[in-house]
Amino acid sequence: MRVGMGYDVHKLVVGRDLIIGGIKIEFERGLLGHSDADVLVHAIMDALLGAAALGDIGRHFPDAEEKYRGISSIELLHNVNCLLKKEGCIVNNIDATIVAQRPKMAPHIEDMRLSISKALEIDIKCVNIKATTEEGLGFTGSGEGISAMAIASIDEIKV
């Protein structure tokens, strides 16, 4: 078994959709980024790539490449899963935390789990997502941005 961790943060801005865990959440602001800026999926991708010692998402999906502008992070997550399979690895489980003062994430967590489990082709029971606030402290607490962290475990398949 191999383990990796990931972290991501994006600024909240007017004029963007809020996409977290592959789910569009109704909110007056969205996350700023080259792709859809899905902090949760970005953290999960980095955790998986780290577990496989394959670098990070910037290495595989650079923001300097126009083809990734506005792309769905769920699509990129599926691509990471394909890369892991090519390397002889399978995903065991994901445990992730979203840090956001607003909006409330609880109503969306099951849909996020399903979206992520489908992209990774794993059982939904292998994807855990939690959410927390920072009690008004820091950039997430003030509503300037949202962050996420994740840990993932993978196994190497012996062929």
Task: Read off the pLDDT of residues 59-80 as tens digits, 9 standing for 90 and up.
Answer: 999 888 888 888 999 999 999 9
Q: Is the pTM of this model over 0.85?
A: yes
CATH of the domain at 113: 3.30.1330.50
Listed in sequence order, the residues at least 6 apart from 21 whose beta carbon sits closer than 8 Å to its beta carbon are 38, 40, 41, 98, 108, 109, 111, 112, 113, 115, 116, 129
Tell me how many domains the chain contains. Answer: 1
Taking 70 as the threshold, does the pLDDT of residue 158 lie above it? Answer: no
Domain span at 58: 2-156
When pLDDT is averaged across residues 115-123 and rounded to a whole number, the result is 98
Residues making up the binding site: 8-10, 34-35, 42, 56-58, 61-65, 100-106, 132-135, 139
